[in-house]
Amino acid sequence: MVVAAAVLVPDAEPASPVTAVTPATLQPNDPYWRQSWSQAVLRMPEVWARSTGSPDVVIAMVDSGVNPAVADLAGALVPGWDFTRNDAVPRDAIGHGTQVASVIAARGNNGIGIAGYCWGCRLMPVRVTADGTATGPQIARGIYWAVDHGARIITIGLNSGSENNEARAAVGYARERGVLVIASAGNTGTDERRYPAGYEGALPVAAVNDSDALYFWSSRGNWVPLAAPGCQLVFDPWVGPGTQCGTSYTPAVVAGIAGLMLSLRPSLTPAEVEAVLRATAVPVQGINGGRINPLAALEAVAPTPAPPPTVPTLPAGGDPGITVPVPVPPATRELELGSGVIRSNLTRVVRVGAGRLDIHLRARGVVECQISLRTPAGQILLSLLPPGDSNLLSMSQRVKAGRHRIEIDCASSRRRAYTISISHVAAPKSAAAAKSR
């Protein structure tokens, strides 16, 4: 069976809307988008200044369907199909497909919710699972349908360790007809090849953190050419905006960027899109390629016209006084990466500065467990939804400085091997703090 990979933790409050726009950036007014560290790392405001996507580009999502009542997807959907009920109403019953859809195409700059990566593109929901699992033949039917109904890109956040000839043939069918298939590399933490990502013609995507290092739970190896940030801001139909982690979402990010590339240059073939994404990627250890670099990819397919030359006026002394800002990677600090055996509970206490606290737990049957975080002020934050992948539970939460208590509680007391990772990403220093140094 093929299993989805995701969990959700809602953010405590929306960020203040951003209205400032410079000629080089497009910062949407959606109230939550600034909570997406992934979109900051990928410099999406600069990317969106180049393109926010074309409605002529249709991205198909082979998953659990979509909730059409979500306002942030209004105007994004084209007709799809439900293979679990054999009808034209691919309505999402578990939330996973809607979350993936929001990563791809949540309408940006509409004053609500979040901003998808290709908010001007359109989305085709193809429902092949009602519970987060699907067989190879079910995925194959979804791929064939999407290709035959006009999709340019297909994203699949499901994966399995088993091969299937029908799914393999469907990926080949898509590639032959000019459709790019992007799929989850998996959450195994090993170099085990997963499917359908591992078939010839598919584009597997792994998961990295802010520092472009693979998450311990991400699949890896020479068969994986691309990675994307592994935790994404999503919109859940029951909870609202929140952060989810897992390789269910990394293909959605790459699909959104590929959609922007096709919006700027519709004649690109799947091979050309893949070649550009690989050639412009930031190197990542552990895979045969790197993390996507959207700005460089768009520049490669549609170069920005050179501005007219200007002659700077030199101040007294002849020093032009020009400084070139150098991007500084976020200060990611690994607090713990360990393993052992857990029965019903596990507790860790960490002292951190202001920033973001990431907790990742991998264990068999982790669907029975929940992460809670007690802040210095006594507030308790919970992982509200069960994980999409039964072996991975994550929490990504902005925190204030102080001593935080992390608790993992499981419904049953059976012994299970686990690996836990706790890391902290420091909040960026303010401009005033930078000047005082």
Here the tokens at position 343 are 């029965």
Q: How far apart are CA 405 and CA 303, in angstroms?
A: 49
Please answer whether residues 373 and 380 qualify as being in contact, where contact means their C-beta atoms are separated by less than 8 angstroms.
yes
Other Cβ atoms closer than 10 A to 124: 26
Q: Which residue in this structure is represented by tokens 């895979």?
A: 287
Residue among 212, 217, 242, 240 at smallest CA distance from 227: 212
Return the C-alpha torsion angle 342, 347, 353, 354, nearest 10. 80
Tokens, residue 125 = 């929901």
Parallel, antiparallel, or unpaired for β 332-342 and 231-236? unpaired
Q: Is the Cβ–Cβ distance between 331 and 352 less than 8 Å?
A: no
Catalytic residues: 63, 96, 248
Which is it for strands 402-410 and 369-374: parallel, antiparallel or unpaired?
A: antiparallel
- Give the separation between CA 151 and CA 176, rounded to whole angstroms: 13
Q: Decide: residue 302, CB within 10 A, 0-12 exposed, 13-18 middle, 19+ buried.
A: middle
Q: How many CB atoms lie within 10 A of CB 317?
A: 6
Q: Are 280 and 293 in contact (CB under 8 A)?
A: yes
C-alpha span between 221 and 431 (Å, rounded): 40
* Residue among 393, 2, 394 at smallest CA distance from 198: 2
- In whole angstroms, how far apart are CA 80 and each of 68, 118, 221? 11, 19, 34
Is-contact 10 384, C-beta < 8 A?
yes
Residue 85's contacts (CB-CB under 8 Å, 6 or more residues apart) are 127
Instruction: Write the DSSP string, 174-215.
Output: HHHTT-EEEEE--S-SS----BTTTSTTEEEEEEE-TTS-B-
Using left for φ > 0, alpha for ψ between -120 and 50, and beta otherwise, residue 109 falls in left
